[in-house]
Amino acid sequence: MRSALFVRALLALAAAFVLGGTLLTVPATSAPTAPAERVSTRVSALAPGCLPSRCWTAIAFNPETLRSGWTQSSAWGSKTRAMTSAHNHCRVRTVNEGHARACIWPGKRRVFNQGGCVAVAWRLRNGRLIEWAKGKAFGPIVAQRRARAAVRGEGTIDSGYSCPPRKG
């Protein structure tokens, strides 16, 4: 526990030094967004793609195969990259072979989350998909519980989840 706090303190201190140094070295005629771009590049080099509380995750669900694709490593840094990674992962999985076009873009049903987990639950009746829904929370158990609560009714309910990294 102490080592995680120590690492976070070091990252915050490094970011403060980078920001301070960048602001001092930037000429007064530069655009106002230049220091922020430089800082974000350097901070992201210290962290594995994103800062732990700012990481994104997404799920692309395939209603034909009932299989998903989720955000793959190092694509957690932005919402767009997380959604693209999940969608690509869904399309290339062998379990979705022949049904790759059925993978639903995460942004279409808002199946993404920043700093927490996202879950997908689906309900089957007589072997057919009746409905599916999402759930979001800080942890996987609560996210799945929320997704499952959204698909109540007769049939079999199943779920899956995706979480971003928690430690830098």
* Assigned domain for 168 exists: no
* Assigned domain for 7 exists: yes
Count: domains in the chain: 2
- The verdict on 23 and 63 lying in the same domain is no
pLDDT confidence tier of residue 54, bands split at 50, 70 and 90: confident
* Assigned domain for 77 exists: yes
* Assigned domain for 60 exists: yes
**First-to-final CA distance of the chain:** 13
What average pLDDT does the segment 72-84 reach? 85
- The verdict on 59 and 41 lying in the same domain is no
- The verdict on 79 and 108 lying in the same domain is yes
The predicted pLDDT at position 122 comes to 94
DSSP strand E in 16-71: where?
56-62, 67-70
pLDDT confidence tier of residue 74, bands split at 50, 70 and 90: confident
The predicted pLDDT at position 47 comes to 41
- The verdict on 69 and 25 lying in the same domain is no
The predicted pLDDT at position 100 comes to 85
- The verdict on 84 and 41 lying in the same domain is no
pLDDT confidence tier of residue 51, bands split at 50, 70 and 90: low
Reference 157, options 165, 167, 147, 168; nearest CA is: 147
- The verdict on 67 and 92 lying in the same domain is yes
The predicted pLDDT at position 2 comes to 60
pLDDT confidence tier of residue 15, bands split at 50, 70 and 90: low
Helices then strands, each counted (H, E), the chain: 5, 6
Long-range (24+ apart) CB contacts under 8 A made by 85-88 are 85/58, 86/57, 86/58, 86/59, 86/60, 86/112, 86/162, 87/58, 87/60
Return the structure tokens found at 30. Answer: 């530069």
The predicted pLDDT at position 1 comes to 55
* Assigned domain for 150 exists: yes
* Assigned domain for 13 exists: yes
Domain residues for 117? Answer: 54-162
The predicted pLDDT at position 129 comes to 92
- The verdict on 13 and 80 lying in the same domain is no
